[in-house]
Amino acid sequence: MTRRKTLPLLLLSLALGGSALHGQPMSLSDCMDYAVSHSTEMRLSAADRSDERAEKVQALLNAFTPSVSAQSYAYNQYGRNLDPETNTYTDFTTFHNGYSLSAGITLFDGFQAINRLRIAKVQQQMGLSQERQTADKVRLATMEAYYQVVYYDRLVEVLRLQAATADSALLKAQREEALGRKGHADVVQMESEQAQRQFQLTQAEGQLQQALLTLKETMCWPLDSSLSITKTITKNENNNGNDNGNAFVLPSVQIAGAQLCQAQLQLQQARGAWSPSLSLNAGWSTTYYTYPDMAGYQPLPFREQWKNNGGEYVQLTLSIPIYSKGQRSLALNKSKNEVSRAQARLEQAQQERDNALCRARDEVATAQAAARQATRMAEVKRQAFLLAQRQYALGLITAIEYQTASQSFLTAEADNINALLQLQLKRHQLNYYRTGKLL
């Protein structure tokens, strides 16, 4: 697993939002990239990645570097105390001042420090997979909101044409009524048709604004700023692309695999707690003392006492665990159980990935057939509507029949737009399960 390179947030937003800043419509890819670069979830994820890097560095230092500490103290001792010079008891107040420097390193601890470092590396890799999963979630949500905007935008275009057609039909009916060719009932029916189309247009325009607001919220786009997007719809295609049957290793599977590796390392760490540990320590210390209330006493100079009282030590410690009230046994049993759970989670994630890929293939095939039929139906209904227009102009059909043909054509157009957009969305999802990329 490789670590993804990221740009600073400002530079990335300028690069991805450049088309919008220049007044050009943003594509689906631009919208998804902008959403990822401005997502609060991604900012939280970046903070988590920083913590994981710090924990890895800490584990590395704990495994291979010694601990070093320095200490200094000063105190007065009153009453009966031991004379540090003669090693006899006195009643004089004694001032003590000491300095020490010590260092220690663990030579062997059952490889627990090494396993902690490995666990930190696995946690960092798992964090990158979680970050990728979060980014994919943001991209998918943006894609769905984007297609909702495209759908309602196309629906508004169709309804505007229908409203214009209804206006023309009403005007024509009113003229023919004045000439005595149409009855008042036909005019009323055309007014009803016009009112219905205007209502549907107003409703669709409101839904378009709501869909655009949802897209802005998903992208973390300023709500008071305008957002222009491209609104292309790919026509239906008969092929699904090359499908070799292989599935991409999704972030969910990578996370489950990392959790299994982490559980196995924690099991090794729990076993290492049963082994002896060997540590090496070394140090140096010196003291300075005097008798403040002893008349006529002249202490040795500080520099001379620093040299004379100094001492060093080297200590090799072997610690053998014997009894810990069952804590090590409990930790070992829990670690074994966690490995079993992690194996089950990995198998479940792989099965869910395979099922999702199979389901995505079926959904694309179904959406492709539905889009093909919807396109054909829309074309047939359009021809039927054009024929109804001519027949109504010649007085061969009633206004109600004309209105029925108009509504049927509108419904078929809306279904066709929705079917084409659903097909695009399903194809993107299938591509994600195949390659790990939505686009």
The whole-number pLDDT of residue 236 equals 53
- Report the candidate in 135, 150, 125, 124 with the shortest Cα–Cα distance to residue 12: 135
Q: Give the residue with greater pLDDT, 129 vs 21.
A: 129
Q: In the block, which residue shows the tokens 């539905």?
A: 370
The whole-number pLDDT of residue 23 equals 61
Same domain, 280 and 259: no
The whole-number pLDDT of residue 11 equals 40
Same domain, 345 and 251: yes
The whole-number pLDDT of residue 389 equals 85
Q: Is the pLDDT of residue 244 over 90?
A: no
Q: Give the residue with greater pLDDT, 13 vs 331.
A: 331
In angstroms, the CA 343 to CA 348 distance is: 9
The whole-number pLDDT of residue 129 equals 93
Tokens of 25: 């419509």
Same domain, 284 and 411: no
Same domain, 337 and 377: yes
Look at residue 266 and tell me if it is in a domain: yes
Q: Which of 294, 320, 346 is the last residue of a domain?
A: 320
Look at residue 373 and tell me if it is in a domain: yes
pLDDT band (50, 70, 90) for residue 16: very low
Show Cβ contacts of residue 374 under 8 Å, excluding neighbours closer than 6 positions.
Answer: 412, 415, 416, 418, 419, 420
Look at residue 284 and tell me if it is in a domain: yes
Q: Which of 320, 339, 373 is the last residue of a domain?
A: 320
- Report the candidate in 126, 121, 200 with the shortest Cα–Cα distance to residue 160: 200
Q: Residue 32 class from Cβ within 10 Å (0-12 exposed, 13-18 middle, 19+ buried)?
A: buried
pLDDT band (50, 70, 90) for residue 124: very high
**391 in Cβ contact with 385 (< 8 Å):** no
pLDDT band (50, 70, 90) for residue 170: confident
Q: Which of 259, 294, 320 is the last residue of a domain?
A: 320
Look at residue 21 and tell me if it is in a domain: no
* DSSP helix/strand/coil, 315: strand
Same domain, 394 and 287: no
Tokens of 325: 């009230």
* Mean pLDDT over the full length of the chain: 86
pLDDT in tens, 364-382: 999 999 999 999 999 999 9
Range among 190-199, 341-350, 388-397, 404-413 rated most confident: 341-350
In angstroms, the CA 117 to CA 57 distance is: 9
pLDDT in tens, 223-232: 998 999 988 7
Same domain, 77 and 211: no
Look at residue 1 and tell me if it is in a domain: no
The whole-number pLDDT of residue 69 equals 95
Look at residue 158 and tell me if it is in a domain: no
Look at residue 170 and tell me if it is in a domain: no
Q: Is the pLDDT of residue 246 over 70?
A: no
- The parent domain of residue 292 ranges over 68-108+276-320
Q: In the block, which residue shows the tokens 């695009």?
A: 424
Residue 235 belongs to a domain with what CATH number? Answer: 1.20.1600.10
The Cβ of residue 350 has, within 10 Å, a number of other Cβ atoms equal to 17
Same domain, 117 and 251: yes
Same domain, 84 and 46: no
The whole-number pLDDT of residue 235 equals 61
Same domain, 414 and 347: yes
The whole-number pLDDT of residue 149 equals 95
Same domain, 237 and 220: yes
Same domain, 140 and 211: yes
Q: Is the pLDDT of residue 162 over 70?
A: yes
Beta-strand ranges (E) seen in 39-159 are: 67-77, 81-82, 89-90, 94-108
> Could you tell me which residues are beta bridge partners of residue 28?
none
pLDDT band (50, 70, 90) for residue 190: confident
Q: Is the pLDDT of residue 206 over 90?
A: yes
pLDDT in tens, 75-87: 888 877 777 777 7
Angle, helices 251-272/327-393, rounded to nearest 10 degrees: 180
Counted domains in the chain: 2
CA 401 to chain centre: 54
pLDDT band (50, 70, 90) for residue 346: very high
When pLDDT is averaged across residues 5-21 and rounded to a whole number, the result is 43
When pLDDT is averaged across residues 110-119 and rounded to a whole number, the result is 92
